[in-house]
Amino acid sequence: MSIHLVIIDALNLIRRVHSAQPDPSDITRTITTTTRTLNNIIKESKPSHIIAVFDHHLQDRGWRAEILPSYKENRKPMPEPLMAGLDAIQQAWWDLGIDSLLSDGDEADDLVATLAKKVADRGQTVTIISTDKGYCQLLSPTLQIRDYFQHRWLDTPFIEAEFGVKPSQLADYWGLTGVSSSQVPGIPGVGPKAAKEILTSYPDIEAAYLAEDLPKKYRKKFDEHIKSARVCKQVSALKTDIELGFNLQDIRFNNSAD
């Protein structure tokens, strides 16, 4: 049987819909809009299996903050009306036939990555619905990322045009440049242009660091900040080995409207 698993990055979708609402306290409208959005996604993607993955809104910043204390240190808390309405949103999605997976100790990104890679590695099709380019490091012939709001695929040509590197080099890219929105510092003075130049010449951070021909303009930066680069790469990479505790049959999609 051919499988098409659709994974919804739940809070990514919900936050975007909620931020566009004229009245942030009107959760009923957010529920209606997210439900309509999901119905459109289902019609477009025709999943055989589907699940929405949520970050637990009460958990801390997870294992990444343990190795990089600045990680998402200044992130804005979820708006109170939205937090209060999450259960109702999940119930509305459940009524559509979409089960939810709630993170517990790991970020939703890692749960999505683990599930997506596990299924894609079996030769089955996986679509992640998210605007988060971090998922693009997972890209493979059977794993794709859809930015529903921009109506585009975050595919290999997109990544090469956007960053100038291969999808498999994205964690190294962010290890060098950092990610300002998540307070990931990278190597000071190494921006996108330099990171592209480095990763065009070398496959990853370690190869560049060990290379005798690393340009002098980068050698001192690497020597002084290699530890930071390694940590930033680690927090930018996705875990793909989390114990999930369920199987595909549990999230099979039965569309009663068909």
Q: What does CATH list as the number for 164-236?
A: 1.10.150.20
109 is in an annotated binding site: yes
What is the chain's alpha carbon radius of gyration, rounded to the nearest angstrom?
Answer: 19
Give span(s): CATH 3.40.50.1010, the chain.
Answer: 4-158+238-251
Instruction: Report the length, in residues, of the chain.
Output: 258
C-alpha span between 125 and 142 (Å, rounded): 5
C-alpha span between 160 and 167 (Å, rounded): 8
60 is in an annotated binding site: no
C-alpha span between 50 and 92 (Å, rounded): 15
190 is in an annotated binding site: yes
Residue 78: exposed, middle, or buried by beta-carbon count in 10 A (0-12, 13-18, 19+)?
Answer: middle
Assign domain 4-158+238-251 one CATH number from 3.90.180.10, 3.40.50.1010, 2.60.320.10, 3.60.15.10.
Answer: 3.40.50.1010
Give span(s): CATH 1.10.150.20, the chain.
Answer: 164-236
| Per-position pLDDT tens, the chain of length 258 | 799 999 999 999 999 999 998 898 899 999 999 999 999 999 999 999 999 999 865 556 688 999 999 998 888 888 888 999 999 999 999 999 999 998 776 688 999 999 999 999 999 999 999 999 999 999 999 999 999 999 999 999 999 999 999 999 999 999 999 999 999 999 999 999 999 999 999 999 999 999 999 999 999 999 999 999 999 999 999 999 998 888 899 999 987 444
State both tokens at 214: 């690393």
176 is in an annotated binding site: yes
41 is in an annotated binding site: no
State both tokens at 112: 């999505």
> What predicted TM-score, i.e. pTM, was given to this entire model?
0.94
